[in-house]
Amino acid sequence: MAFDSKGGGGSMSQINVTPLVDVMLVLLVIFMVTAPMLQQGVNVELPRADVGPLEGRDAPVVVSLTRGGEIFLNERSLSREQLVEELRGRAEATPDEPVYVRADESLPYGEVISVMGVIRSAGIKNVGMVTQLPSQGG
């Protein structure tokens, strides 16, 4: 509660906003620190290429291949057979939807091409590769 500074001795009916501002600044700092930690995904080291980003839709379909040979469809781990079934359903629903492949750069070329063949056998006609610009850190 604030007091009148004119010497009248009565109390003023104004809210002191200083504690509210202090709490809001503390919450802002907490959210700024924790926000980068909330981003999760499949950790893949992408190869570098001197091309710009592709224009895309809101939620692209991404098949990720990890260094250990695991296959992920939009962060969900699948076997090759499950991948074919999932993509076959997507190909029937939206035949022109592109599928992007993110492969760890340490994977053998044949393994990446094999998975791309699995994607094509599911009926997907538009398959793209995801790379990282040389200026971006890995």
Q: In angstroms, rounded to a whole number, what is the distance separating the alpha carbons of residues 64 and 100?
A: 8
Locate the DSSP E strands across 1-138. 61-65, 71-73, 76-78, 99-103, 127-129
Low-confidence ranges of the chain (pLDDT < 70): 1-10, 12, 39-42, 52-58, 135-138
Percent of the chain with pLDDT over 90: 14
Which residue ranges make up each domain of the chain?
Answer: 61-129
Quote the pLDDT of residue 29.
94
Quote the pLDDT of residue 27.
94
| Annotation: CATH topology of 61-129 | Nucleotidyltransferase; domain 5 (3.30.420)
List of residues 6+ apart from 72 with CB closer than 8 A: 42, 63, 64, 65, 66, 78
The radius of gyration of the chain from alpha carbons, rounded to an integer in Å, stands at 26
Residue 69 falls in which region: left (phi positive, over 0), alpha (psi -120 to 50) or beta = left
